[in-house]
Amino acid sequence: MAAVEMTAREGVLILAEVGSVHDGSYGNAGRLIAAAAQCGADVVKFQTHIAEAETLYDAPMPPFFKGEPRFQYFQRTGFSLEQWRGLKAQCEDLGVEFVSSPFSLEAVDLLERVGASRYKIPSGEVTNLPLLTAVAATGKPVILSSGMSSWAELDQAVETIGKGRSELTILQCTSEYPCPYEQVGLNVMLEMARRYGLPVGLSDHTLTSHASIAAVTLGATVIEKHFAFSRLMYGSDAAHSLEPREFAELVRGIRAVETMLKSPVDKDRVERYGEMKLVFQKSVVSLAPIAAGQVFKPEWLGIKKPGTGLPPARLTEIIGRRAARDIPAGRPLTAEDVEWER
């Protein structure tokens, strides 16, 4: 599987997906921002739910979270305009970008009033073309998750957002919680890059960082990963989130892979291994005393460390030639020990 060429973006954009794991607590939301920033996240991402605009009262909850009715959950965990502005300000104070996913046209309007600099479209909204049109009309960068969409649906979404001339990145995403490794779909991410000629990334729902690291090696420019204080927290996403220690390790891993990818190594620059070659490689050595003028015989020569003498590859050249001087036993041979002209 060929790696996709990395884009000009300076580094992989790492999103800590807080979502609604704050459970409606403005204080917890602020603490989550601080924790994500400390872990090295570039972006802290929330979800902007306006229950009345987004869902019917009796809409079902997802199979992985049955804690309370969906309408009530969104209503209870939502924030006011001023609270959203406060969270954005906290992000800015800590040097991370504030992003939130809108789930309705009203949410787009709200986030525009908050001053959102970027939009993330969740997988469930890929077919919501009016929402995509509204987001694209802002002209701001867009990250599009693709978890529930067919190629035809994704084609239409990309076309719709493209009409707004927004900068677009597409994330491979598998809408399973948690996602098994067999369903991550790194091949789909690569196909997206080929199909659309756009930056790609991964919204990772596995329980480890392995898929995210693999995606970066294949050219992902954006990684999104759920983030919570603890997987024991209440809420729809806590159980499949990374905890701070794990998220920090993910960030370190991604930055390490970035360094490897942008640091090509010249295999022929062997001089950097000079000392190591002397220690670990071998030389042709004398196994017995050899007098000047004697013809080198195979039984008089061996191959042993260190690598300070003629390399083993030249053993066959030495056999049958004459010694240029007296050679004691147990010494690496040098070029000066051999008469090269017969």
CB 33 within 8 A of CB 243: no
Q: Do 201 and 335 have their domain in common? A: no
Whole-structure pTM value: 0.86
- CA separation for the pair 228, 306 (Å, rounded): 54
Q: What is the DSSP string of 54-71?
A: H--TTPPPPTT--SS-HH
Q: Give the structural domain span for 295.
A: 270-339
Residue the block writes with tokens 């979502």: 19
The candidate with the shortest Cα–Cα distance to 112, out of 84, 133, 90, 83, is 84
Q: Tell me, yes or no, whether 105 lies in a domain.
A: yes
Q: Which of 243, 261, 279 is at the close of a domain?
A: 261
The CATH number that applies at residue 155 is 3.20.20.70
- 6: in domain: no
Q: Which of 196, 227, 261 is the last residue of a domain?
A: 261
42 close to 15: Cβ distance less than 8 angstroms: yes
How buried is residue 112: exposed, middle or buried, by Cβ count under 10 Å (0-12/13-18/19+)?
middle
User: Are 22 and 161 members of one domain?
Assistant: yes
User: pLDDT tens digits, the chain, 342 residues: what are they?
Assistant: 333 333 334 799 999 999 999 999 999 999 999 999 999 999 999 999 999 999 998 888 777 777 788 899 899 999 999 999 999 999 999 999 999 999 999 999 999 999 999 999 999 999 999 999 999 999 999 999 998 899 999 999 999 999 777 799 999 999 988 999 999 999 999 999 999 999 999 999 999 999 999 999 999 999 999 999 999 888 778 889 999 999 999 999 999 999 999 998 888 876 777 788 889 999 999 999 999 999 999 999 999 999 999 999 999 999 999 999 999 999 999 999 999 986
Strands 97-102 and 43-48 come out as: parallel
Structural domain includes residue 324: yes
How many domains is the chain built from?
Answer: 2
Whether 196 and 215 map to the same domain: the answer is yes
Q: Are residues 45 and 182 in the same domain?
A: yes
Secondary structure of residue 117 in the 3-state scheme: coil
Residue 305's domain is classified under what CATH number?
3.90.1210.10
Give the domain-ending residue among 220, 244, 261.
261
Give the residue from 115, 105, 159 showing the smallest Cα distance to 135: 105
Does 148 share its domain with 215? yes
- Do 112 and 208 sit in the same domain of this protein? yes
